[in-house]
Amino acid sequence: MPKHHLDHLHVQLGPFRASAPRVVEFAVLAIGLGAMTAMTVPEVRAGFEKELTATLWFCLGMFAIELLLNCWPGSFTGGEPKHLLTAGGVIDLLAVFPIPLALLLGVPDDTAWLLASLWLLKATEMFPGFSLLGRVIALEARPLGSVLIIFLIVLLLAATALYILERGGQPDRFGSLPLSLWWAVTTLTTTGYGDAVPQTFLGRLIAGMVMISGLGVFGLWAGILANGFAAEHRRRDFIRNWDLVRRVPFLRDLDPPALITLTRLLRPLDLAKRTIIVRRGQPGDCMYFIAAGEVEVQVDPKAIRLGPGSFFGEIALLKDSVRTATVVTTAPSTLLILEVSDFREFMAHHPNLASAIELEAARRANAAKPDAGERSQTPQLADSRGNDYEYYE
């Protein structure tokens, strides 16, 4: 089956969902690295050397086939061929060629197969978190580079100072600038192996300052990366929420400032089929908008199904009461959650939307009464199938 067809097949692994080729690639990677590790254990290699070697060759062959498929003309795979000078192309090349090249050059088998550790680079393509890390580093390159310059300045100045102060008393540890640089690196990174320790008072004073500087430098790096990750997550969440909000007809007519505010307040939630969202009798702490999928509201005399564009859960918020019905997903669904505090604040600043929600809540409450004989006079909404519905919570 062509690879572009396989990409449409997905496998659910607990909370993770991945394409079938990615699952196979991850399995081959895990098996190959396991076999490489086992080859370094003398007892295991003595009893299973042929089997381990065959496993490693199989994994290498799989990566070679993947490289050919990625580089083949688009007419074969249905996609654009991967350029070998891109990061992904280089990783594919490193996964295939170093081991056969080492074997051809006469490197012993037990050493050549250690190059299988390069296969681990393929994990950077399997998990989207690495692309996020790369984007954060690219966006924060200037502040990260500034801290790197500070690190190098402290490193070189400290190494030079200790070379001057300690070379006479400890020539074997500070007798050259490279030796002093080794001490500065272990001290600035707060590793402190203890193989080189200043003996003079001034040398120890400088060492203490270097240790404190190391804490500050790495704290700055951690803070920059943490802020970068948070900003990137906010950006991606906003883009995703904006797309989901625009799918809800009830919210589509909001003015742009209100829509932006609501987009920042809403929290997306992806749910599997047959997941209970709320239970009857529970306190109401949020309301839900359906962006994708379908839910079933379990009310008498007949359950009601709601699709994209519908909302539920607002009655408990408006009346400070408990949930009046249990709601369950009937298909994989994406909901937008508006917490009670955000709900009330947003309603206070946007009375038109508040009036519309209160009117709909009142209509549903009246529709739920046994003697509601005038329900037909109130406009009804429609679910995803176009059927009228009167009440849900």
What's the pLDDT tens digit per position in 65-105? 988 887 765 534 445 555 666 777 888 889 999 999 999 99
How many residues are listed for the chain in this entry?
A: 393
Determine how many CB atoms are found less than 10 A away from the CB of residue 238.
14
Which distant-in-sequence residues (6+ apart) come within 8 Å of 205 by Cβ?
none
Retrieve residue 287's tokens.
């309301």
Specify the pLDDT at position 375.
Answer: 39
Contact 139/227 with Cβ under 8 angstroms?
no
pLDDT at 370 over 60: no
**C-alpha to C-alpha distance for 307 and 292, rounded to whole angstroms:** 7
Specify the pLDDT at position 12.
Answer: 44
**C-alpha to C-alpha distance for 351 and 223, rounded to whole angstroms:** 40
CATH class for the domain made up of 139-236: mainly alpha
pLDDT at 5 over 70: no
Specify the pLDDT at position 134.
Answer: 81
CATH 1.10.287.70 maps onto the chain at 139-236
Helix axes 141-166, 201-245, angle to 10 degrees: 170
Across the chain, where does the E strand assignment appear? 10-13, 16-19, 267-271, 276-278, 286-292, 295-298, 304-306, 311-312, 326-329, 333-339, 381-382, 388-389
CATH, range 252-389: 2.60.120.10
Q: How many CA atoms lie within 13 A of 259 on its CB side?
A: 17
**Assigned fold of 3-126:** Four Helix Bundle (Hemerythrin (Met), subunit A) (1.20.120)
**C-alpha to C-alpha distance for 303 and 273, rounded to whole angstroms:** 16
CATH 2.60.120.10 maps onto the chain at 252-389
Higher pLDDT, 336 or 77: 336
Helix (H, G, I), strand (E, B) or coil at 356: helix
pLDDT at 379 over 90: no
> pLDDT digit string (tens) for 154-174?
999 999 999 999 999 999 999
Contact 253/225 with Cβ under 8 angstroms?
no
Give me the mean pLDDT over the 376-392 stretch: 38
Higher pLDDT, 186 or 360: 186
CATH 1.20.120.540 maps onto the chain at 3-126
pTM, entire model: 0.62
What does the DSSP 8-state code read for residue 283? B
> pLDDT digit string (tens) for 344-359?
887 777 777 777 777 7
Contact 52/38 with Cβ under 8 angstroms?
yes
Longest C-alpha distance within the chain, in Å?
102
